[in-house]
Homo-oligomer: A and B are copies of this chain.
């Protein structure tokens, strides 16, 4: 697999106190790589999550949705190579058996074990391999690190994706580290594949969920590769509390804003990494929408542009085809007034007031589009609603990957 030209190097990641990692080979496919990951979490770890809105989710998604109500986590199991989605009763039984085995190994209630699986849809997770795999991963606990886990959760990813940041909660420095996988079937509705965030901050589950929801709104919900929403999309955040400060329980807690801002920043970094590994991507595209009637309207317009095959192919071809941007604004279903619309590529305004900017200089636009990072800015001229979303171009590479991939 060719590494994405938009790849970023794997960051240096320190361990998070309260988090132990083990990986193993369950052999979900005919390979020798690690494909099952067990993360053991210290007692008292809070958990929050955002899950796919797909109406046909995987058993693991359903399991996480039920268990998030408890707010406490002691383990996370991730399988790669088999998504266990659309596998009926057999798949549900496999997920239950594997997480029950993890609970026994870790010594916790089954409700404190979370799970995610990614890979081919429709093939039940083989229960024997899944249980043997998590047992082997438990035996390896402490030998793995975030880099190993990132590799073990990956499927069609062309590079390992992770990010880290820190925040000050009062005088206490807390670390937030996330790992993520995904490159195709990346889409609007919460968007993204599997992402796991670990922090040593002490955060009550309800506030962790509130901060994650807020972060999600400006990160995972703002990316798209192909407009296709996975049946397995899962982002979970775990807070071990090992940093020892007074727990954050709400927006009024000292340090809550700093923590939430760091979480939002981390999520944005992770989301952008997924776009950078978008199938066939050669350009990273930032779409800024301002002047909409509301932030929600700006988001929908941004995603309409980001999901448009005609906009994405134009960028692939280095074509400042703002007419296609107009088309995508028009089809978004939100208020738009052609005569107030303006469009910028990079720093050059190419259209304003319902028409092309007469004699705009095409040279800087062409130079901008020849680069790896492309910025499209649209101002609706109607209100103060704004949004920023990210996508990649649509290339022959996407077709090659997806017309040849076998189910």
Please list the residues of chain A having a beta carbon within 8 angstroms of any beta carbon in chain B: 52-57, 83, 85-91, 120-124, 184-185, 187, 189, 226-231, 307-310, 313-314, 316-317, 319-324, 326-339, 341, 351, 353-356, 394-396, 398-400, 402-407
Given contacts A55-B333, A227-B309, A338-B56, contact A353 B322 (CB under 8 A): no
* Residues of B contacting A402 in the complex (Cβ-Cβ under 8 angstroms): 309-310, 313-314, 317
Q: Smallest distance from the beta carbon of A344 to chain B beta carbons, Å? A: 15
- Do residues A310 and B226 form an inter-chain contact, with CB atoms below 8 A? yes
Q: Which of A121, A322, A398 neighbours the largest number of chain B CB atoms within 10 Å of its CB?
A: A121
Q: How far is the CB of A325 from chain B (nearest CB, A)?
A: 9
A164 to B143, CA, bound (A): 72
* CB proximity of A283 to chain B, nearest CB, Å: 11
- 9 contacting pairs across A/B (C-beta < 8 A): A55-B338, A56-B330, A57-B338, A228-B308, A228-B327, A313-B403, A314-B403, A321-B406, A398-B399
On whether the beta carbons of B57 and A121 are closer than 8 Å, the reply is: no
Which B residue's beta carbon lies closest to that of A91?
A: B355
Report the minimum CB–CB distance from A370 to chain B (whole Å). Answer: 14
Nearest chain-B residue to A393 (Cβ)? B403
Q: Is the CB of A230 within 8 A of B54?
A: no
Contacts of A54 in B (CB 8 A): 327, 330-331
Return chain B residues, CB-CB under 8 Å to A334.
Answer: 55
Are A394 and B399 closer than 8 Å at their CB atoms? yes
B57-A330 in contact (CB<8A): yes
Chain B residues, Cβ within 8 Å of A339: 88
Q: A404's closest neighbor in chain B, by CB?
A: B317
Shortest beta-carbon distance from A319 to chain B in Å: 6
CB contact under 8 A between A355 and B124, given known A189-B331, A327-B228:
yes
Q: Check B399–A355 contact: CB distance below 8 A.
A: no
Nearest residue, chain B, Cβ from A62: B338
The 7 A-B pairs with the shortest beta carbon distances in the complex, nearest first, are: A121-B323, A54-B330, A56-B330, A317-B403, A88-B355, A88-B354, A229-B331
**In the complex the two chains form, what is the Cα distance from A313 to B226 in whole Å?**
11
Provide the bound-state CA to CA distance between A321 and B187, in Å.
19
Say how far A187's CB is from chain B's closest CB, in angstroms: 7
Q: Select one of B184, B229, B331, B337 contacting A187, CB under 8 A.
A: B331
CB within 8 Å for A86 and B326 given contacts A122-B355, A227-B307, A331-B54: yes
Nearest CB of B to A11, in Å: 30
Q: Is the CB of A353 within 8 A of B88?
A: yes
Q: What is the minimal beta-carbon distance from A294 to any residue of chain B, in angstroms?
A: 15
Looking at the assembled complex, report how far the CB atom of A51 sits from the nearest CB atom of chain B, in whole angstroms: 12
Distance from A64 Cβ to chain B, minimum over Cβ atoms (Å): 16
Closest chain-B Cβ to A53's Cβ sits at a distance in Å of 7
In the bound complex, do residue B319 and residue A407 qualify as a contact, i.e. CB atoms below 8 Å apart?
A: yes
What is the distance, in angstroms, from A251's C-beta to the closest C-beta of chain B? 31
A231 touches B355 (CB 8 A): no
Of all chain B residues, which has the CB nearest A301?
B55
Q: How far is A353 from B351 in the complex, measured between Cα atoms in Å?
A: 52
**A226-B310, A313-B403, A338-B86 are contacts. A231–B322 as well, Cβ < 8 Å?**
no
Report B-chain residues with C-beta under 8 Å of the C-beta of A309.
Answer: 226-228, 309, 394, 398, 402
